[in-house]
């Protein structure tokens, strides 16, 4: 074995100077990269890039496959730059009952003071309102996979009698003009497109509709439409058979509505003696219903969103949640072959009745390929956490 030794001819003093110089350089670098806050040293993190007011990294965290995903869709809408400072978002409506699936965002004056001003946003085809509306539509089409139409509705008064001016954009027109999948992957390219977006730079732009005539190639239509009727909220409540507990929906969420309904703000289970909340669930849903077991130990909570519904059971012994079998488990037990429509499975679970203190009957249905509908009922033993019996409806057995 050959050993190699390195002999330094420099003195210890020279090496000490070298070390001190290195430490000085490191100190300068740290001073640039960090700042001191009290006793903490905080890393200066570069903010995510912003393109024409769009924070694409943050928007991407709420990307969704379905326009019926209320919470994500509303968050996406609220992250969009306002089309004009005159307006503020009023509400969001979803159309998910049938194709084409749609999203409508309603805007009204930001304040009563703005309404009294003489200024009104120009709504012409070359206007900033039109540019920003079409740009917002592009971002939403990229972030929501199955939305077919996006409408922005503007009114220049807060009066309930005021009409909305609507601009409706169609996914098909954007697909013809852009590779939306590629823009979803390449945020830098999308950002540059948003920065350079203008009516003269792109072929997609809305035009005014007058006298029943519009240009055939128009991407959007501007029409006058009446104010939709004020949606309502449907609340539900039920007291336990022994009178100890009450479960109820409460509040109202006006950020979104569908089918003429606002969802409830949430659901809570309270002690009737001291009004203490023992269990709660947020957000609320468009409809909810409650079924208590005969012995008051369990309550089945059925809740319905726009395109799906579910059931959970609350155990009042410890206020824990019991989850029922999901679609995959039911399909494994189904008598015959089943399929699932990957785009719109529309699974609906609903508690039907308690057969005794422990066993709950639940109805279920979902959509398969080629619009095949599967439906039936199952019995679940809550105490055993076990699916006891599954009965498909004869018309859905294959």
Q: What is the dihedral of CA 89, 95, 101, 102, to 10 degrees?
A: -20
Any bridge partners for residue 351, and if so which? 362
HEC assignment per residue over the chain: CCCCCCCCCCCHHHHHHHHHHHHHHHHHHHHHHEEEECCEEEECCCCCCCECCECHHHHHCCCECCCCCHHHHHHHHHHCCCCCCCEEEEEEEEECCCCCCEEEEEEEECCHHHHHCCCCCCCCCCCHHHHHHHHHHHHHHHHECCCCEEEEEECCCCCCCCCEEEEEEEHHHHHHHCCHHHHHHCHHHHHHHHHCCCCCCCCCCEEECECCECCCCCCEEEEEECCCCCCEECCCEEECCCCCEEEEEECCCCCCEECCEECCCEEEEEECCCCCEEEEECCCCCEEEEEECCCCCEEEEEEECCCCEEEEEEECCCCEEEECCCHHHHHHHCCCCCCCCCCCCCCEEEEEEECCCCEEEEEEEEECHHHCEEEEEEEEECCCCEEEEEEECHHHCC
Q: What is the pLDDT of residue 131?
A: 86
Nearest-angstrom CA–CA distance, 221 and 173: 12
- Contact yes or no for 168/209 (Cβ under 8 A): no
Task: Quote the crossing angle between the two packed helices 70-79 and 128-143, to the nearest 10°.
Answer: 150
- Contact yes or no for 252/264 (Cβ under 8 A): yes
Task: Quote the crossing angle between the two packed helices 187-195 and 128-143, to the nearest 10°.
Answer: 170
Any bridge partners for residue 257, and if so which? 93
Nearest-angstrom CA–CA distance, 312 and 302: 7
| Structure-block tokens of residue 364 | 């279920």
pLDDT tens digits, 158-171: 777 677 788 888 88
Residue 270, burial from CB neighbour count under 10 angstroms (0-12, 13-18, 19+) = middle
Nearest-angstrom CA–CA distance, 278 and 247: 10
Residue count of the chain: 398
Q: pLDDT tens per residue, the chain (398 residues)? A: 434 343 444 455 555 665 566 665 555 555 545 444 444 444 444 556 788 889 999 999 999 988 888 888 999 999 999 988 889 888 888 887 677 888 889 898 887 766 666 567 776 666 788 888 989 999 999 999 999 899 898 888 877 767 778 888 888 888 888 899 999 999 999 999 999 886 544 444 443 333 232 332 333 444 434 344 567 888 999 999 999 999 999 998 887 777 778 888 899 999 999 999 999 988 888 899 999 999 999 999 999 887 888 999 999 999 999 989 988 899 999 988 899 988 788 889 999 999 999 999 999 999 999 889 999 999 999 999 999 999 998 765 55
CA atoms within 13 A on the CB side of 342: 2
CA atoms within 13 A on the CB side of 132: 17
Listed in sequence order, the residues at least 6 apart from 339 whose beta carbon sits closer than 8 Å to its beta carbon are 368, 369, 370, 372
Nearest-angstrom CA–CA distance, 135 and 195: 10
> What does R_g of the chain's alpha carbons equal in angstroms?
29
- Contact yes or no for 322/312 (Cβ under 8 A): yes
- Contact yes or no for 382/298 (Cβ under 8 A): yes
Q: What is the pLDDT of residue 113?
A: 67
pTM above 0.85, yes or no: no
């Amino acid at each position: 074995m050959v050993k190699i030794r390195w002999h330094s001819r420099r003195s210890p003093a020279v090496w000490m100077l070298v070390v001190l110089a290195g430490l000085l350089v490191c100190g300068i670098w740290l001073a640039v990269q960090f700042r001191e806050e009290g006793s903490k040293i905080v890393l200066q993190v570069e903010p995510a890039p912003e393109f024409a007011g769009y924070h694409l990294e943050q928007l991407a965290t709420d990307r969704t496959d379905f326009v019926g995903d209320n919470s994500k869709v509303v968050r996406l809408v609220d992250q969009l730059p306002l089309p004009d400072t005159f307006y503020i978002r009023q509400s969001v409506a979803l159309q998910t009952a049938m194709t084409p699936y749609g999203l409508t965002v309603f805007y009204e004056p930001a304040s009563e003071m703005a309404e009294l001003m003489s200024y009104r946003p120009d709504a012409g085809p070359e206007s900033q309102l039109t540019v920003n509306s079409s740009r917002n539509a592009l971002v939403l089409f990229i972030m929501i996979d199955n939305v077919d139409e996006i409408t922005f509705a503007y009114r220049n008064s807060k009066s309930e009698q005021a009409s909305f001016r609507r601009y409706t954009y169609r996914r098909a027109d954007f697909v013809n003009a852009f590779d939306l999948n590629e823009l979803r992957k390449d945020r830098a390219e999308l950002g540059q497109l948003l920065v350079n977006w203008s009516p003269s730079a792109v072929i997609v732009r809305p035009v005014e509709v007058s006298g029943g005539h519009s240009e055939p190639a128009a991407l959007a239509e501007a029409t006058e439409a009446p104010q939709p009727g004020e949606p309502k909220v449907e609340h539900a409540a039920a007291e336990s058979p022994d009178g100890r507990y009450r479960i109820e929906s409460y509040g109202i969420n006006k950020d979104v509505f569908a089918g003429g309904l606002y969802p409830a703000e949430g659901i809570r289970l309270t002690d009737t003696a001291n009004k203490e909340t023992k269990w709660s669930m947020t957000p609320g849903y468009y409809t909810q219903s409650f079924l208590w077991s005969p012995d008051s130990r369990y309550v089945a909570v059925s809740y319905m969103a726009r395109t799906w519904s579910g059931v959970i059971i609350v155990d009042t012994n410890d206020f824990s949640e019991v989850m029922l079998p999901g679609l995959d488990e039911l399909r494994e037990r189904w008598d015959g072959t089943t399929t699932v429509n990957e785009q719109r499975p529309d699974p609906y679970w609903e508690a039907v009745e308690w057969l005794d203190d422990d066993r709950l009957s639940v109805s279920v249905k979902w959509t398969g390929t080629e619009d095949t509908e599967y439906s039936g009922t199952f019995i679940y033993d809550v105490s055993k956490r076990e699916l006891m019996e599954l009965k498909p409806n004869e018309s859905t057995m294959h």
